[in-house]
Amino acid sequence: MFRFERKFIINNLTIPELENILRNSPLKFKKDYQKRKINSIYFDDSNFGSFFENIDGNNLKKKIRLRWYGDKKIISSPNLEIKKKEAHLNQKLNYKINNFKKIKLSFQNILFLLKKLKKKYFFLENKYPISSTHYERLYYISSQKNIRATLDYNINYFNFIENSNLNRYSKSIILEIKYSNDKDEIIRKSLNNISFRVNKNSKYINSLIEYPFLIT
């Protein structure tokens, strides 16, 4: 299933202020699901192909990640996901990993898990764990229940490159608006009433941005 996503990186507003903006927007958002803690491990090849697809502005982009919810130190009930993007149009493919036993988050455990997953999922061939992200997410839905919004905050980036143990915290809040193709015109008009602008944002890219050799 394809959907549109528009992202905003916000540095000068609080969660309550953003919730007020969403509530009073023409789409009249209200809270939907309970808050969740989200964890993702990103995989890439040795040439950082996925990273450069995004940095170079390729129209077609793809990211592969392992995602789970809850305690960031314990990988539990994860999904393997492929996220494809063309302009603002996104598609996410989910693969539930069955009969999964909880494991502690460590580089060695990730390598062991990846070795097992490669036997079943061919797209993981020549892929390696590069970084992980950990954050909290709030969920909202429009009054017509056809447009979703999320707020991501307390975002932490951890980097596996060269065993650097880079752990970086971001004070930014990321707002995402998610909707189907036929709602694009409605969204464009509604966003005209919001005081911030659409930004390109990728948590995977942000997790690597401290490494100058990748962007020279």
Q: How far is residue 17 from each of residues 5, 10, 59, 149, 161, measured CA to CA in Å?
A: 22, 11, 34, 15, 37
The CATH number given to whatever domain includes residue 194 is 2.40.320.10
| Whole-number Å distance between alpha carbons of 196 and 11 | 10
Q: Is 151 domain-assigned?
A: no
Question: Which tens digit of pLDDT belongs to each residue from 183-211?
Answer: 667 777 777 666 666 667 789 988 887 66
What the block records as the tokens of 112 is 């062991």
What residue numbers bound the domain in which 94 lies?
2-145+156-214
Question: Which tens digit of pLDDT belongs to each residue from 126-145?
Answer: 999 999 999 999 999 999 88
> Does the pLDDT at position 165 exceed 70?
no
Question: Which pLDDT does position 146 carry in this prediction?
Answer: 87
H-type alpha helices, 120-215: 184-191, 203-208
H-type alpha helices, the chain: 15-24, 49-55, 107-118, 184-191, 203-208
pTM of the predicted protein model: 0.90
| Number of domains the chain is built from | 1
Q: How confident is the model at residue 60 (pLDDT cuts 50, 70, 90)?
A: confident
* Residue of higher predicted confidence among 119 and 163: 119
Q: Which residues pair with 86 in a beta bridge?
A: 60, 89
